[in-house]
Chains A and B, each alone.
Chain A
Amino acid sequence: MKSILTILIFFLAGLTATPQEVTLTVDAPGVAAAGERFRVIYTINSTDGQFTPPKFDPAFTVQGPQQSTSRNVQWINGDVKTIATTTLIYYVSVSEPGTYTIPAAKFETKKVVVSSAERQIVIAPAGQAPAAVQAQTQGQGQARTAGDIPSAGTDVSLRLLFSDREVYAGEPITVTLKLYTRINLSGLQELKYPDFKGFLREDIETPPLRNLETEVIDGVQYGTGVVQRMVLYPQISGEIRIDPVEMTVLVQERSGSRDPFFDDPFFDSFFSSVSTVPRKVTTQPVTVRVKPLPTPRPADFHGAVGSFALESSLSSTEAKLNDALTLKVVLKGSGSLNLAGEPLINFPQGIEKYDPKVTITGPGTSSGSKTFEFLLIPRNPGKFDIPPVSYTVFDPKQEKYVTLRSEGYSVNVTGTPGSSEGAAPVFIPGEDVKYLGQDIRFIRNGNGRLSTAAAPLVTELHYWLWFALALFITAVVLLLRREQIRRNADVAGVRNRKASRNARQRLARAEGLLKSGSKDQVNAGVARALWGYLGDKLRIPPSEITRERCYALLRQRNTGEELISELDRILTATEYSQYAPVSEGESPAALCKRAELLIGRLDNVLD
Chain B
Amino acid sequence: MILVAGLVSLAGQTPEERYSQAGVLYGSGDYSGAAAIYRQLFEEGFRSGDLFYNTGNAFFKSGDNASAILFYERAKLLSPADEDIDYNLQIARSRITDRLETVPQLFFVRWFDFLSLLASTNFWAVGAIVLFLLSLMLAVLFLTRARARGRLLSFWLSLATLLLSMLLISLAVRNNSLVNHNSRAVIMCSIVTGRSAPGETGNELFVLHSGTTVTVEQELGDFREVRLPDGNKGWIRADCMEKI
Q: Please give the residue numbers on chain A whose beta carbons come within 8 Å of chain B beta carbons, in ascending order.
A: 438-454, 456-459, 463, 466-467, 470-471, 473-474, 477-478, 481, 485
Contact = CB atoms under 8 A, between A and B. Distances in A.
Contacts of A447: 16, 20
- Select the residue from A448, A463, A466, A470 with max chain B CB neighbours within 10 A: A448
Contacts of B91: 438-440
B136 A443 contact: no
Which 6 residue pairs are nearest across A and B when measured between Cβ atoms? A457-B125, A443-B54, A440-B88, A444-B50, A453-B47, A456-B121
Contacts of A445: 20, 23, 27
Contact of A451 (B47, B60, B176): B47
Given A450-B48, A458-B172, A471-B136, A443 B180 contact: no
Contacts of B126: 457
A203 to B, nearest CB: 49
Interface stretch (B3-11, B138-146, B195-203): B138-146
Contacts of B143: 478, 481
A441 B47 contact: no
Contacts of B51: 448, 450
17 contacts: A440-B60, A441-B88, A443-B23, A443-B53, A447-B20, A449-B48, A452-B44, A453-B45, A456-B122, A456-B176, A458-B176, A459-B176, A463-B125, A471-B136, A474-B140, A478-B143, A478-B144
A447 B50 CA distance: 10
B125 A474 contact: no
A452 B121 contact: no
Interface string B57-78: 1101100000000000000000
Nearest to B165: A467
Contacts of B167: none
Contact of B48 (A448, A454, A466): A448
B92 interface: yes
Interface in B1-60: 15-16, 19-20, 23, 26-27, 41, 44-48, 50-51, 53-54, 57-58, 60
Given A438-B91, A459-B176, A451 B46 contact: yes
Given A450-B41, A451-B48, A474 B139 contact: yes
Contacts of B47: 451-453
B79 to A, nearest CB: 10
Contacts of A470: 129, 132-133, 136
Contact of B50 (A448, A454, A473): A448
B98 interface: no
Contacts of B217: none
B173 interface: yes
A448 B20 contact: yes
Interface in B107-145: 120-122, 125-126, 129, 132-133, 136-137, 139-140, 143-144
A478 B143 CA distance: 8
Contacts of B48: 448-451
Contacts of A463: 125, 129
Nearest to B173: A458
B113 to A, nearest CB: 16
A458 B137 CA distance: 23
Given A454-B122, A456-B180, A443 B20 contact: no
B176 A440 contact: no
A456 to B, nearest CB: 4
B176 A448 contact: no
A409 B132 CA distance: 74
Contacts of B132: 467, 470
B87 interface: yes
Interface in B142-190: 143-144, 169, 172-173, 176, 179-180
A199 B48 CA distance: 62
A438 B91 CA distance: 8
Nearest to B122: A457
Given A442-B57, A450-B46, A474-B140, 16 more contacts: A439-B91, A440-B87, A441-B84, A444-B50, A448-B50, A449-B16, A451-B46, A454-B122, A456-B121, A456-B180, A457-B125, A458-B121, A458-B173, A470-B133, A474-B136, A481-B143
A582 B95 CA distance: 113
Nearest to A440: B88
B178 to A, nearest CB: 11
A309 B139 CA distance: 93
B143 to A, nearest CB: 6
Nearest to B26: A443
A448 B144 contact: no
Given A456-B122, A466-B129, A478-B140, A441 B87 contact: yes
Nearest to B61: A440
Contacts of B26: 443
B12 to A, nearest CB: 17
Contacts of A444: 50, 53-54
A453 B179 CA distance: 10
Contact of A452 (B45, B60, B136): B45
Contacts of A448: 16, 19-20, 48, 50-51
Contacts of A478: 140, 143-144
Contacts of B92: 440
A66 B94 CA distance: 78
Contacts of B45: 452-453
Nearest to B44: A452
Nearest to A438: B91
A457 B175 CA distance: 11
Contacts of A452: 44-47
Which of A439, A459, A473 has the most C-beta atoms of chain B within 10 angstroms of its own C-beta?
A: A459
A234 B23 CA distance: 51
A457 B27 CA distance: 38
A453 B46 CA distance: 7
Given A447-B20, A450-B48, A440 B172 contact: no
A450 B50 CA distance: 9
B8 to A, nearest CB: 21
Contacts of A459: 176
A494 B130 CA distance: 41
A450 B15 contact: yes
B172 A457 contact: yes
Contacts of B57: 440-443
B235 to A, nearest CB: 29
